[in-house]
Amino acid sequence: MEKLDEMTGPILGSSSEKYTHGHHASVVAAHAVRRASEAAAFVLPQLKSPMRVLDFGCGPGTITNDLAEYLLPDGSLVGIDSSDAVIEQARNAATEKNIANVEFEVNSIYETGYESSGFDAAYAHQVLQHLSEPVRALEEVKRVLKPGGICAVREVDWGASAIWPNDERLSKFFDVYSKVAERNGGDAFAGRRLKQWFTDAGFSDLVVTTSTWTFAEGSGLKWWGDQWADRILSSDLAKRAVEYGIATDSDLKDISQGWLDWVQAEGAFFSFIQVEVVGERA
């Protein structure tokens, strides 16, 4: 069995917490298509020069590097992630694009070590759903924000998804995904809990919105199905599913074929909601 993409070094949540997807090339490639214009649209008007912004769980940094441009001329960003592999990728991308107002560091949002009140804003995209202690992470964000600073987070809710045509193999995919996420300490239905987590962490003046990701045609639909057909066989999701006894290799092959067939199916459709919360540190 290949070595799993364990997080070593940075401080984690409960000892059983594991990042569900890992950083297999199929996962990182899927994250690297994300852009701030979509993933941060709900907060972009509030992020401007000369703010100092923290992007926690920044992954390969495509969103972070976009945000850096929105903060010009005098704003700056720090992107942190517990994986050194993705931080290196993010740093290289910033260097290639000559983006000078961004820094990337391997660090954990549970305990960043940053001074209190050092940031004007914090942002995260699809991160808290993977943490066993999301409120503790938000409390650390609150600590590093200035009074009046904002925290903006977007999390999917896999329970608010719709797929057509019906296919038992894809129903199995949803079941496997949510069970592995839960066993890893996360929550595939995080979107619906995000407002509560902000409240529990002591943020005020919450603004809650939703948007959707929809794959219904052309290259977008094909990309969505193909990447899950790959990830369900080769990412840490697959390895953990087998390790935990949630699915067999044969189940995973069926699910993968289910996604490939979905790409070809007449009337293929997939959509789910993204929950977005912006809260203020009083």
In the chain, which ranges are E strands? Answer: 52-56, 76-81, 102-106, 119-125, 145-164, 204-215, 269-280
- Can you read off the two tokens belonging to residue 166? 């019906």
- Which letter, b or e, does each residue of 181-201 get, where b requires 16 or more Cβ atoms within 10 Å of its Cβ? bebbbbbbbbbebbbebbeeb
Alpha carbon distance 121, 195 (integer Å) = 18
> If binding is defined by CB under 6 A, does position 231 make contact with ligand SAM?
no
- Binding pattern for the stretch 42-81 against ligand SAM, x by CB under 6 A and - elsewhere: --------------xxxx---x----------------xx
Among 36, 43, 68, 86, binds ligand SAM (CB under 6 A): 86
Please say which residue, 110 or 262, places its beta carbon nearer to ligand SAM.
110
Question: Could you give the C-alpha distances from 180 to 21, 90, 160, 186, in angstroms and in order?
Answer: 10, 27, 18, 9
Closest CA to 76 of 40, 46, 100: 100
> If binding is defined by CB under 6 A, does position 18 make contact with ligand SAM?
no
In the complex, which residue's CB is closest to ligand SAM?
59
* Pairing assessment for the beta strands 269-280 and 204-215 based on DSSP bridges: antiparallel
> If binding is defined by CB under 6 A, does position 224 make contact with ligand SAM?
no
Please say which residue, 81 or 230, places its beta carbon nearer to ligand SAM.
81
- Indicate the Cα dihedral angle 190, 233, 223, 32, nearest 10°: 60
Piece of 107-115, 180-188, 206-214, 252-260 that binds ligand SAM (CB under 6 A):
107-115
- Can you read off the two tokens belonging to residue 185? 């300490």
> If binding is defined by CB under 6 A, does position 215 make contact with ligand SAM?
no
Q: How far is the CB of 17 from ligand SAM (least distance, A)?
A: 8
Please say which residue, 169 or 183, places its beta carbon nearer to ligand SAM.
183
> If binding is defined by CB under 6 A, does position 141 make contact with ligand SAM?
no
Among 54, 77, 109, 190, binds ligand SAM (CB under 6 A): 109
> If binding is defined by CB under 6 A, does position 149 make contact with ligand SAM?
no
Q: How far is the CB of 137 from ligand SAM (least distance, A)?
A: 7
> If binding is defined by CB under 6 A, does position 26 make contact with ligand SAM?
no
> If binding is defined by CB under 6 A, does position 201 make contact with ligand SAM?
no
Burial class (CB in 10 A: 0-12, 13-18, 19+), 235: buried
Among 42, 104, 110, 228, binds ligand SAM (CB under 6 A): 110
Q: How far is the CB of 164 from ligand SAM (least distance, A)?
A: 25
Closest CA to 144 of 113, 117, 110: 117
Size of the site for ligand SAM (CB under 6 A): 23
Among 26, 65, 82, 89, binds ligand SAM (CB under 6 A): 82
Question: Could you give the C-alpha distances from 265 to 112, 222, 229, in angstroms and in order?
Answer: 46, 11, 15
Q: How far is the CB of 127 from ligand SAM (least distance, A)?
A: 4
DSSP class of residue 131?
-
Alpha carbon distance 265, 242 (integer Å) = 28
Binding site for ligand SAM (CB under 6 A): 12, 19, 21, 31, 34, 56-59, 63, 80-83, 86, 108-110, 125-127, 130-131
